[in-house]
Chains A and B, each alone.
Chain A
Amino acid sequence: MRYPPGVSQSDFDRALSQFQAAIGSDWVFIDEADVDLYRDAYSPLWGEEEEKIPSIALAPRSAEEVQALMRICNEFRIPVYPVSTGKNLGYGGSAPVLNGSVVLDLKRMNRIIEVSEENAFALVEPGVSYFDLYNYIQEKGLDLWIDCPDPGWGSLIGNALDHGVGYTVNPYRDHFEAHCGMEVVLADGDVVRTGMGAMPNAETWQQYRWGYGPWLDGLFAQSNFGVVTKMGFWLYPAPEAFRSGSVQVMGYNDVHELTRVTAKMMYSGILNTNAGVQSPMQFVLGQNPEMQERYERANAEDIRILDEFAQSNNTPFWSSSFKFYGPQEIVDSSWAYVKKQFAHIEGVRFQDQEALQFPMPYEELMQTSDENHLGVPSMSVFQLGNRSNFNPAGTNGHLGFSPVVPMTGEAVLQANKVLGKVLRDMGGNTVFNVPPYSYHQRTFTILIGFTVSRDSDTNQKTREIFRELVRVAAENGWGEYRTHTAFMDDCAATYSFNDNALLRLQQRLKDAIDPNGIISAGRYGIWPKHIRDEEGKGIADINSARDEEGGSNV
């Protein structure tokens, strides 16, 4: 058995028997083989000393059991790391930030407490996956859609708490934004309900978000202030129809108008779902070193020649795909309206893509270009990095770099230029490279996926490139919307306005709400006082830190 850092063996042994009494010994995993199942399967630190490996895992069945466990952890100052379904692959999986933490695995808390068709919401526990909620809605024949991320096995709660995203319409696709009301167990075992849920007999917990007084929900996402045991989510009344189409523009400089009009329509609500800016020319350029060089330099003369080159290849420089959901008439007229807004761009082309009507049998949904965009959870995205002709050996997963950039043509060009330069200069294996895409309402996010391997030299190189990307992005004013546990301090350090005032405030909150610093130490760069250094970073040798502080002896 492995012991957590900063806790004496005798204390931990006493805590263990209390854990077993609280939730039953079957649900206290101490065998290393069982606990190794919590390693981050896609870890860029795999097999290295720094790899994040938990000591033991606990799997409670109810919020009351979570409360009991938190009281024990708090008494013995045991670092604990809650996960919901623990499928945060690409961002740390089910492994803690602080090596040796006890994982609190909430998978067994898998009740769908309520789904209201009339008011279109669900109240769920952490172990409920997108598959579970989808199946429940199908079985009951409710006229509702869920909004799911690509992988269907993740949880509504874990995904939302990491600011995860999906693909239908606002406000459902930004999963934290789509939540309404939480139940949270604090470090001392107290349980809090937010929003209207603070009323003992609340009737609108899942309908009115703000409740009374300061809204605290944001504290519990991308953080370590509590263990979320229930969360409400708004659901989408099933739309009648779907349509997609693309707009293609020929010239290098047309990116500005393409993006300006797109942004305006997003802010007007005419477009209410993800859209991005792709460059069909990128592939053509990649095969022509001279043109690639011109693209990277892009002075007036280069641009003139690039435009001629695009014309002669009959390939648009840029394109955007748009999606529409809703009543058939509205979907059709929205697309017609959108086309009109771009009609003034010389040489613009339009292409109709998919047109679908619902309800549609499951088998047919699975034949569409992307079922996840139609609220159908699946696992088809795992084709990324999979064994194929393109990649005969396959990969051991990926790691996502995902900075948020403004929705402007200028930013698109600048991001391509500076991030592309890092990748070209430093090499590195990318498994995918998603062009600027509006995962969120008013920005583009660029998503670069690095291959993860079981070879530490390769992984070390990838980490170096990743850190350089974080640095270059920050230099341009762009920060990551979410990051892997291996880079939490690096990204936190880029949000440094006024001598890290935000982080310092987060630390003050941490020290007040979780004074023993037991919950998810280090998550999003927030370290509790007993294990942070002057700069706020985690102290590697926690055992000696505790000794100095006069804590428990190890």
Chain B
Amino acid sequence: MYKALILLAGILISTGTLAQSGDPVNGKAVYEHWCSPCHAPGARKHPGTAALEFLYKGEKPAVLEQRLDLTPALVATFVRNGVKIMPPFRKTEISDKELADIGAYLTPR
């Protein structure tokens, strides 16, 4: 499942479904509302960070905001498909525009 998602993300990139370029400033605000409660630093109170710390064992940062390998398409794939205990987000929660903004915020520049 996990690998399949990453693969799927690759397909999305190649077909350029997510051509929309996002606004990282708004992306930060949306991220802080929807993602930080699980992905902020500190594994004890942030289950996203805890799971990624366990998964990557230091190979990659456990905090998404510190990652160097995220792309808008990869982020979108996880947000719209969910993974393990992280459910997908509906468009009334995070619109496509806001999703592109989160993608821009999480993409290293």
Q: With CB as the reference atom, state the residue of chain B lying closest to A36.
A: B88
Q: Write out the residue numbers on chain B whose beta carbons fall within 8 Å of the beta carbon of A380.
A: 44-47
- Can you name 5 extra interface pairs (CB under 8 A) apart from A36-B88, A383-B50? A27-B92, A37-B89, A107-B92, A388-B51, A394-B51
Q: With CB as the reference atom, state the residue of chain B lying closest to A389.
A: B54
Tell whether, in the assembled complex, residue B84 and residue A93 are in contact, meaning their CB atoms are under 8 Å apart.
no
Tell whether, in the assembled complex, residue A386 and residue B1 are in contact, meaning their CB atoms are under 8 Å apart.
no
**The 10 A-B residue pairs with the shortest CB-CB distance in the complex, in nearest-first order:** A41-B87, A382-B47, A379-B37, A107-B92, A387-B51, A394-B84, A380-B45, A37-B90, A59-B92, A383-B47
Nearest chain B CB to A432 CB, angstrom units: 13
Tell whether, in the assembled complex, residue B54 and residue A387 are in contact, meaning their CB atoms are under 8 Å apart.
yes
Interface residues of B in 68-109 (CB under 8 A from A): 80, 82, 84-85, 87-93
Tell whether, in the assembled complex, residue B87 and residue A42 are in contact, meaning their CB atoms are under 8 Å apart.
yes
Q: With contacts A107-B92, A388-B50, A388-B54 known, is A93 near B87, CB below 8 A?
A: yes
Tell whether, in the assembled complex, residue B84 and residue A396 are in contact, meaning their CB atoms are under 8 Å apart.
yes
Nearest chain A CB to B55 CB, angstrom units: 6
- CB-defined A-B contacts under 8 Å, sample of 15: A107-B93, A152-B37, A366-B45, A378-B37, A379-B38, A380-B46, A382-B38, A382-B47, A383-B47, A386-B51, A386-B84, A386-B85, A388-B54, A395-B85, A454-B1
Tell whether, in the assembled complex, residue B90 and residue A38 are in contact, meaning their CB atoms are under 8 Å apart.
yes
| Chain B residue total in the interface (Cβ 8 A) | 24
Say yes or no for A385: interface residue by CB 8 A criterion: yes
Q: How far does the alpha carbon of A380 sit from the alpha carbon of B36 in the complex, in Å?
A: 11
Nearest chain A CB to B108 CB, angstrom units: 25
Tell whether, in the assembled complex, residue B84 and residue A387 are in contact, meaning their CB atoms are under 8 Å apart.
yes
Q: Write out the residue numbers on chain A whose beta carbons fall within 8 Å of the beta carbon of B42.
A: 366
Q: With contacts A59-B92, A380-B45 known, is A89 near B50, CB below 8 A?
A: no
Q: Write out the residue numbers on chain B whose beta carbons fall within 8 Å of the beta carbon of A383.
A: 47, 50
Say yes or no for A131: interface residue by CB 8 A criterion: yes
Nearest chain B CB to A47 CB, angstrom units: 12
**Chain A 387-412 per-residue mask, 1 if CB under 8 angstroms from chain B, else 0:** 11100101111000000000000000
Nearest chain B CB to A521 CB, angstrom units: 22
Q: How far does the alpha carbon of A474 sit from the alpha carbon of B80 in the complex, in Å?
A: 40
Q: How far does the alpha carbon of A385 sit from the alpha carbon of B84 in the complex, in Å?
A: 9
